[in-house]
Structure 1
Amino acid sequence: MAVLLDTEDVPSGDRPDAFRDAMLAASGSTHVDLETGPSGVSARLDLWEFGSARVFTARSTGVTLVRDARAARGASYEAVAVAVHGLGSGRHESSSGQRIVRSGELMMVDITRPFDFSWSGIGSSTSLQVPISDLGLPLRVVQRAAGRLRSSPLYRIVSRHVVDLTADADTLSASPLAADLGESSTHLVRALLADAADPGDTRTRDVFEETLLSQVHAYVRQHLRDPMLAPDSVAAALAVSRRQLFRVCRRAGLSLEQYIIGKRLEGARTELAARSARPRPIASVAYGWGFKDPSHFSRRFRAAYGLLPSEWRRLATEGSP
């Protein structure tokens, strides 16, 4: 995590300028007005990296962000940001009209058009930023989708994903899976924009299914050691029905149950082959990789690799697996 700004670390007299400069750099706005309360100005801005995708959060006293027409005309998309509003409510005004953005609602920041966004009192927002080059969508599709996000059935899924990603961002961004999570997040944003721009387009289904499969792979890898990992828990975590999950997996030629077992067996086999002064008991290895029954683990291991776990460990540690 990178803390871009915490006004608690800034002398009180310098806080307005520090906050204004940080928001100008992070938000794409050309002008920032600050609301000064009884205790002055306060703000906390954080940034996490997930491969080429980034999560940016802002929590502060009242602020108004403005992007003028001149800057918008000269703008070129480098990244797309979808933002979920947090505390309080915000006001967003653009060429398409004015709207109140309430807690939990999703919006897209379109820097190629003038905008005015603000909140009063303590407010917060979290945005998922993905490079436009990673989306693989024409600019016109991205622009057309900006005002139509709520029309897509993926709206709720993306909103929840951004919130969940942020809730454990410190741990997830530091894990080996960070780049995978960023890639699946990018696919999810792409599916949302494609569907919002062209509802009913058959190509949108392909994008959605590709996105969902990417999320399935990432979620399974992240939770392999959880003994409760199963199709029902995967469907619930990804906000899709069990039927929809199985349909997409079937079209991709993927048996989700067998995929989970196969990945668990791979992890256990690697651990059993590792040299250690105090190797864990085989039953402990089985439990550690999500198997509820060591006997079941041994049967599945032998069916997959032709050896019992104990035989594999002995041969591996002798150097001749």
Structure 2
Amino acid sequence: MLLLDLGTVSPRERVEAFRHALTDSMVPNDIVHEEPATGIHARMELWRVGDLDLFATRNSGFEVRREERHVRHHRSRPVVSVSLQPEGVHRAEAEGRRRLLRADDICVFHELSPRRYGWPGDGASQSVMFDMTRLDVPVDTVVEASLRLRASPLYDLVLGHLRDLWRDPGGLEADPGASALASATTGLVRALLLTAAHSAESAAARSVLDDTLVTRILGHVRSHLADRELTPAGIAAAHAVSERRLYAVLGGAGISLEQWLIAERLTRARQMLGSARYDRLTVAAVSARCGFSSPSHFTRRFRAAYGQSPSEWRRQHGGGPSEVGAQAP
């Protein structure tokens, strides 16, 4: 849903329109704008995925200042915002500590704590809003964690997960699995905050790591699909569990590791075959990038799953070279 496009607003009304859109979708703040020669500009959008709000803005330089006086005025169910910075270098301040944030940084703010946030020049932010009661992490823990997120062993996993959410938020909004995705996302972010705020050996950290073990295993496997040497033993070792424990945990979630791995590799391959980004790769190269042992094995599996060969599927949905034995340029 489009919340605001300042390109449709007269220049003299843009400051007020920006403030109105931000305070209506968020909470009261003081907002200070840079004034480029062309005037301030902004585009704000909102999606609802399960019980999560995904808010994106791309705008000219500004700073949002949330002071103690603002904290007293909040919605009935305060939120924790978890943001990515896909464009620009962002500036954040909380608890008297100032930070610069870039594309590989996750930024966390609790609605019930003061902060400052913004960027010079053009920039963009992608924020996921979590209901405080559903997240179930105390305010002081959220603030403490926000200052040391990279101390968590889950940081890279959560960063990758958040980026995946923003690939197609509109598609996720309409997906029948949106509620389950929102629940899994909340669990991952809760685990990130608790493991960042507490020692990895603490009871709270150990408990949340156990609760998210299945999600972490699946995230690890997805990030290593191209590795043809990916084995149950290697996956188990990466998570400090035995193979027996690995199979037991996945089995309890109704997942067969081998079947799930093949399905994920086939899904990745089908996406690549239909994408213009990979149209110069041969089927053999796609097969290798998705971790199949050989092009012939890949073709057999693909035909069994989708009723046609990879080359046939590509001709209908994608393009590019289809010779199974050729090399990628």
TM-score by length of 1: 0.69
Deviation track 1:37-92 (CA, whole Å, cap 9, x = no partner) reads 12111111111111111211111001110111222256586221111122111111
Query: Is 1:73–1:113's contact at 8 Å kept on the other side of the alignment?
Result: no
Query: Is 2:302–2:308's contact at 8 Å kept on the other side of the alignment?
Result: no
Give the 3-state SS of the residue equivalent to 2:87 in structure 1.
coil
Query: Is 1:152–1:192's contact at 8 Å kept on the other side of the alignment?
Result: yes
Who is 2:121 aligned against? 121
Does residue 235 of structure 2 align to residue 242 of structure 1? yes
Who is 1:46 aligned against? 45
Q: Which has the larger radius of gyration?
A: 1
- Cα distance in 2 for residues equivalent to 1:67 and 1:172: 31
Tell me which amino acid in the other structure corresponds to 1:91.
R
Does residue 205 of structure 2 align to residue 204 of structure 1? yes
Who is 1:14 aligned against? 13
Label 1:236 to 1:92 Cα distance change in 2 as closer, same or farther (>3 A). farther
Give the 3-state SS of the residue equivalent to 2:35 in structure 1.
coil
Alignment of 1:32-181 (within 5 A): 32-73=31-72, 78-181=78-181
- Cα distance in 2 for residues equivalent to 1:290 and 1:249: 34
Label 1:235 to 1:176 Cα distance change in 2 as closer, same or farther (>3 A). farther
- Cα distance in 1 for residues equivalent to 2:146 and 2:221: 33
- Cα distance in 2 for residues equivalent to 1:236 and 1:54: 30
Identity of aligned pairs, percent? Answer: 28
- Cα distance in 1 for residues equivalent to 2:128 and 2:212: 16
Query: Is 1:126–1:162's contact at 8 Å kept on the other side of the alignment?
Result: no
Label 1:215 to 1:190 Cα distance change in 2 as closer, same or farther (>3 A). same
Who is 2:3 aligned against? 4
- Cα distance in 1 for residues equivalent to 2:150 and 2:27: 23
Label 1:192 to 1:131 Cα distance change in 2 as closer, same or farther (>3 A). same
Query: Is 2:109–2:143's contact at 8 Å kept on the other side of the alignment?
Result: no
Q: Pairwise CA RMSD of aligned residues?
A: 3.3
Tell me which amino acid in the other structure corresponds to 2:208.
V
Alignment of 1:184-195 (within 5 A): 184-195=184-195
Label 1:37 to 1:135 Cα distance change in 2 as closer, same or farther (>3 A). same
- Cα distance in 2 for residues equivalent to 1:212 and 1:128: 22
Label 1:262 to 1:133 Cα distance change in 2 as closer, same or farther (>3 A). farther
Query: Is 2:250–2:256's contact at 8 Å kept on the other side of the alignment?
Result: no
Larger mean CA deviation between 244-253 and 180-189 belongs to 244-253
- Cα distance in 2 for residues equivalent to 1:234 and 1:116: 34
Does residue 281 of structure 2 align to residue 288 of structure 1? no
Aligned length: 258
CA deviation after TM superposition for structure 1 residue 156, in Å: 2.2
Larger mean CA deviation between 130-139 and 43-52 belongs to 130-139
Label 1:74 to 1:252 Cα distance change in 2 as closer, same or farther (>3 A). same
Label 1:35 to 1:261 Cα distance change in 2 as closer, same or farther (>3 A). closer
- Cα distance in 1 for residues equivalent to 2:80 and 2:248: 30
Query: Is 2:157–2:216's contact at 8 Å kept on the other side of the alignment?
Result: no
Label 1:137 to 1:118 Cα distance change in 2 as closer, same or farther (>3 A). closer
Query: Is 2:247–2:257's contact at 8 Å kept on the other side of the alignment?
Result: no
Query: Is 2:79–2:130's contact at 8 Å kept on the other side of the alignment?
Result: yes
- Cα distance in 1 for residues equivalent to 2:308 and 2:79: 39
Query: Is 1:77–1:111's contact at 8 Å kept on the other side of the alignment?
Result: no
- Cα distance in 2 for residues equivalent to 1:97 and 1:14: 34
Unaligned 5+ segments in structure 1 are 220-230, 265-282, 293-321
Unaligned 5+ segments in structure 2 are 227-233, 265-300, 311-329
Label 1:13 to 1:207 Cα distance change in 2 as closer, same or farther (>3 A). same
Deviation track 1:3-30 (CA, whole Å, cap 9, x = no partner) reads 1112223334322221121122334352
Does residue 245 of structure 2 align to residue 252 of structure 1? no
CA deviation after TM superposition for structure 1 residue 180, in Å: 1.5
Tell me which amino acid in the other structure corresponds to 1:44.
R
CA deviation after TM superposition for structure 1 residue 98, in Å: 1.3
Larger mean CA deviation between 201-210 and 143-152 belongs to 201-210
